[in-house]
A and B are shown apart, each in its own frame.
Chain A
Amino acid sequence: QTKTGVLKISHDIFLWSDIISTVEFNHTGELLATGDKGGRVVIFQREPESKNEPYNQGEYNVYSTFQSHEPEFDYLKSLEIEEKINKIKWLPQQNAAHSLLSTNDKTIKLWKVTERDKRPEGYNLKDEEGKLKDLSTVTSLQVPVLKPMDLMVEVTPRRIFANGHTYHVNSISVNSDCETYMSADDLRINLWHLAITDRSFNIVDIKPANMEDLTEVITASEFHPHHCNLFVYSSSKGSLRLCDMRASALCDKHSKLFEEPEDPSNRSFFSEIISSVSDVKFSHSGRYMLTRDYLTVKVWDLNMETKPIETYQVHDYLRSKLCSLYENDCIFDKFECAWNGSDSVIMTGAYNNFFRMFDRNTKRDVTLEASRESSKPRAILKPRRVCVGGKRRKDDISVDSLDFTKKILHTAWHPTENIIAIAATNNLYIFQDKVNSEMH
């Protein structure tokens, strides 16, 4: 029996710090990084496919784990700075090492991931444990040789970009020039050079002179995948601003403003909240943008500012429940969205550990579930359905039975293949999804 305004609380008990807060594939898809609320980063590596073990086709195994951020205390404000990793972004690989940026609310760090699988042996002055030899025992000279050893993955912090943000960092994005990146907080966006940590360049500032006049914040931002001078940022009022860094130093004036006019017949007190954009992603082609707001995902054409070219309903059955969702704060949940490699399918998470995929060409969509019960290894995911009254099929879930504590906020799609990573609270699911056969 559920009552209005109160939604189920999950029965699971787990560590708060294990909750996954971000998921990101690197540019080849060989590596997958996750960040959690405890400030840790776990990197998974895809096993190379081998003919001997056909079932081991490209499984992801843990490659490295490290503590990226620690909790801090701001003594001036008497406030704690959470160690939660908000975002991870990989740098394009330029040598044998891999590099990634990780950020919490305030500080961005550049990490270098290197492998060591050989070590030198046969030193003249030191023994195998590194202790100095007794020189009287040294009778001949030898050249140290490299001998294979068990693979060791080392992660070292190379840069710490601190003190750039007064407000909470919500996004970072590496520029296609591979030299700069940007970080955005609620009110400002900064441009950094990857090699310089003691200063950054402020490129967007929407802080009003009088904080009492504040009505809109920045919610997400991203560089264009090909044009290093272009970036987009989204706002809590549902608008997107495309900015050109060549036009002026301070990009407060947008080059293009993407905004869909509000439907006056659909207006309610919650209209603004549900229009707030929680994530924005350029397509791989660079021609489109994908946005997520509370109830929909939208595809925008960079050449058309007046409205999106496509709108997909993620869970429209929640529209009549907005009051309850406002009361329990679920209405403020920030869902991410993702493109597949060919920009033909888009994906986003929802509640009850459901996630949704929309095929832009066939206009078909599917709802899938990430849970231990329904996902045995190598089983095929069964499409799920939420029924909203009327006919109810056997495995349908009613809206009132949805578990709103099980939310899939973070999802990622392999850059080229049909492999998806789904973060369901403290669990990571990696599905190799046969997209076409699952659509209904």
Chain B
Amino acid sequence: MGEEEGLHQTQLLDTMFVRGLKRKCFDGEEDIEGTLAGFKAIPSYNLQRQSLLDMSLVKLQLCHMLVEPNLCRSVLIANTVRQIQEEMTQDGTWQMINTQSAGQTSLDRLVSTDILCRSSKEQAEGKLVPVYSTFTKDCEGTQSQDNSEIMSTVTSPQAPRNLQSNMWEMENPQENRGNFQKSLDQIFETLENKSPNTVEDLFSEVDNSYYDLDTVLTGMMSNTKMGHCDVLETFPSQTTANSNSNCKSDLNELDHIVEILVES
């Protein structure tokens, strides 16, 4: 039932979303097959939460080419982002992000988020011990050290608004991990230039067009006429009437996404 094609799709998404995974170091384990079963050390709750946050932000940024975004979906994703931010603020881990060096890209953190699916009750039962990981490549070495740092740096949590802008600033990876990464960065950068203070700012321009990577993927696979895909294929001829649509200014980057999908 489409096993080949399913595997093909799996490889695509693995490449795009789980690319950074193999570079991760968990207790020295490097034999990662790309499935949760392959991990001997389960990513920490914080890491998964961060991954969910990044995934949510990606979902909000990717724009539909022509059609207005689904407002219900956008609201639900934004609420999820807020929840994560609030929890991270209470944890003090929001502070942690600010103190870490740049060089981490959002894709690195897109690990499996299986743990997040468990209810808080299951977590409390000791299925995992939250670890305040430091989000650097040298997680092993500096962990014990940083634990004490965490305790001392937990002051009164900053208002979510400031933290949000700090997070935007942080997203300036120094490496390029392929064309998809580049386009993500551009989207984050353009948002930074607009200096959004909160995730709510995304709604102030809710009428702008959005791209939906999911729709793109689906469209590529089903090989059908789709408003979204058709437009992606005819990029150069699109005219943009709305000068505020920063998403549209990244049309070239989406060309690269299409190339990645088609080449594979």
Interface residues of chain A, those whose CB is within 8 Å of chain B, are: 1-6, 8-17, 71, 75, 77-82, 105, 167-168, 186-187, 211-217, 219, 236, 264-270, 272-273, 276, 319-323, 326-329, 332, 403, 405
Contact = CB atoms under 8 A, between A and B. Distances in A.
A272 B76 contact: yes
5 contacts: A5-B112, A6-B10, A269-B49, A272-B79, A329-B73
B117 A6 contact: no
In the A-B complex, the 4 residue pairs with the closest CB atoms: A212-B200, A11-B2, A265-B121, A323-B113
Contacts of B66: 79-80
Contacts of B79: 215, 272
Interface in B1-27: 1-2, 5-7, 9-10, 13-14, 17
Contact of A265 (B55, B114, B119, B223): B119
Nearest to A186: B71
B206 interface: yes
Given A215-B79, A272-B79, A78 B240 contact: yes
B204 interface: yes
B227 A80 contact: yes
A265 B209 contact: no
Contact of A332 (B2, B70, B114, B225): B70
Contacts of A211: 200, 203-204, 206
Contacts of A215: 75, 78-79
A215 B202 CA distance: 12
A75 B214 contact: no
B46 to A, nearest CB: 13
A82 B70 contact: no
Contacts of A5: 13, 17, 112
A364 B223 CA distance: 41
B198 to A, nearest CB: 7
Contacts of A320: 114, 117-118
- What size tier do the contact residues of chain B reach? 35 or more
Interface in B188-215: 198, 200-201, 203-204, 206-207, 209, 214
Contacts of B157: none
B34 interface: yes
A272 B83 CA distance: 10
Nearest to A327: B55
Interface string B28-43: 0000001110000000
B80 interface: yes
Contacts of A71: 227
B221 interface: yes
A13 B113 contact: no
Nearest to A19: B224
B84 interface: yes
B16 to A, nearest CB: 11
Nearest to B206: A211
A3 B34 contact: yes
A332 B14 contact: no
B90 interface: no
Interface string B67-103: 1101111011011100110000000000000000000
Contacts of A80: 66-67, 227
Among B7, B76, B113, B241, max chain A CB count under 10 A is at B76
B232 interface: no
Contact of A219 (B6, B72, B121, B214): B72
Instruction: Please report whether the interface of chain A is mostly helix, strand, loop or mixed according to DSSP.
Output: loop
Instruction: Please report whether the interface of chain B is mostly helix, strand, loop or mixed according to DSSP.
Output: helix
A187 B83 CA distance: 22
B245 interface: yes
Given A186-B72, A320-B118, A272 B80 contact: yes
A16 B118 CA distance: 36
Nearest to B12: A6
A78 B241 contact: yes
B203 A212 contact: yes
A266 B225 contact: no
A321 B203 CA distance: 29
A84 B10 CA distance: 30
A77 B203 contact: no
Among B9, B52, B222, max chain A CB count under 10 A is at B222
Contact of B241 (A75, A272, A273): A75
A1 B245 CA distance: 41
Contact of B5 (A9, A17, A213, A327): A9
B246 to A, nearest CB: 13
Contacts of B70: 168, 332
B131 interface: no
A5 to B, nearest CB: 7
Contacts of A326: 52, 55
A6 B13 contact: yes
B120 interface: yes
Given A2-B6, A6-B13, A16-B225, A212 B72 contact: no
B226 interface: yes
B2 A10 contact: yes
B223 A78 contact: no
Contact of A77 (B35, B118, B207): B207
Given A212-B201, A329-B73, 12 more contacts: A3-B34, A4-B35, A4-B36, A6-B10, A8-B2, A186-B71, A265-B119, A272-B80, A320-B117, A323-B52, A332-B70, A332-B72
Nearest to A80: B66
A252 B82 CA distance: 26
B83 A269 contact: yes
A186 B68 CA distance: 13
Interface in B56-73: 59, 66-68, 70-73
